[in-house]
Amino acid sequence: MRASGFNTQISAYSKNRPPKFHEIELLKIIKGSSDKTFSKVLDIGCAAGSFISLMSKEYPSCSYTGFDISSKLIEEAKIRLNSINANMYIADALTFEPEKKYDLIIASGVLSIFEDLKPLELWTKWLEEYGRIYIFGRFNSKDIDTIVRFRNHHQNQVKDSEWQGGLTSFSIKYVTEYLSDIGFKSKFIPFIYPEKLPITDDPVRTYSVETIDNKKLILNGANIIAEQYFLIINKK
């Protein structure tokens, strides 16, 4: 498994920003799910706590745990979430030691940092018997897995030697079979941006391009097209 801290492109996540489109959509999916009985929620790679903040408005009586490898983001999250029932930790998604099992685990934008699915298998062990994992990120509808390394020279963000990950895309086929082999069902829901995503100065940030049939291609400065999905996982 790839070592931690493999992606340090955190500038997009460190502001006390309004919820992103994928967070609003994820909350809708959770609200629409048949399982209304969850109370213990874990957000893996929670950044500055934006999703926990959003979800806690809808589900104020849940207890929330969030962790992120970035101490800066967790400091911001603690300030943002100080009035809700949330425990926030600086921790690594590969070595975090949960104090309890969770009914609902969120990992948004995190799986693409890794180069195999062992983290996902580990996270299933943190789940209560009837719990669900909600993943958001890049997946490929074609039967190809890709690993991408990049260096972002925008405003000298990295030294020459620091190759970054975070754009891994596993195929839906591989993920489905992997999860099935370890006793879990998976459901993929494509994510379509409701609005145009503008291009920004930082070339690592995602943007959209309209096609002639009014669909949107999701790109970033690596010039690789991304397909984004929500993946819902629960025990068979």
Ligand X SMILES: C[S@@+](CC[C@H](N)C(=O)[O-])C[C@H]1O[C@@H](n2cnc3c(N)ncnc32)[C@H](O)[C@@H]1O
User: Contact between 73 and ligand X (CB under 6 A)?
Assistant: yes
Nearer to ligand X, 42 or 93 (CB): 93
Contacts of 154 (CB under 8 A, 6+ apart): 201, 202, 203, 204
User: Contact between 66 and ligand X (CB under 6 A)?
Assistant: no
Nearer to ligand X, 25 or 68 (CB): 68
Sign of CA dihedral 58, 60, 61, 65: positive
Q: Which of 56, 65, 70, 168 binds ligand X (CB under 6 A)?
A: 70
Nearer to ligand X, 7 or 56 (CB): 7
Sign of CA dihedral 87, 123, 112, 138: negative
User: Contact between 45 and ligand X (CB under 6 A)?
Assistant: yes
User: Contact between 110 and ligand X (CB under 6 A)?
Assistant: yes
Sign of CA dihedral 8, 11, 12, 13: positive
User: Contact between 25 and ligand X (CB under 6 A)?
Assistant: no
User: Contact between 218 and ligand X (CB under 6 A)?
Assistant: no
Binding mask 78-97 for ligand X (x = CB under 6 A): --------------xx----
User: Contact between 104 and ligand X (CB under 6 A)?
Assistant: no
Amino acid at 51: F
User: Contact between 47 and ligand X (CB under 6 A)?
Assistant: yes
Sign of CA dihedral 193, 35, 63, 105: negative
User: Contact between 4 and ligand X (CB under 6 A)?
Assistant: yes
Q: What is the spatial distance between Cα 81 and Cα 69, in angstroms, rounded to a whole number?
A: 17
User: Contact between 103 and ligand X (CB under 6 A)?
Assistant: no
User: Contact between 167 and ligand X (CB under 6 A)?
Assistant: no
Residue 128: other Cβ atoms inside 10 A = 16
For residues 63 and 39, the answer to whether their CB atoms sit within 8 Å is yes
User: Contact between 220 and ligand X (CB under 6 A)?
Assistant: no
Please choose, out of 106-114, 126-134, 170-178, 211-219, the segment that lies near ligand X by the rule CB under 6 A: 106-114
* CA distances, 9 to each of 34, 70, 89, 164 (Å): 36, 10, 19, 8
List of residues contacting ligand X (CB under 6 A): 4, 7, 10, 13, 20, 45-47, 68-70, 73, 92-93, 108-110, 113
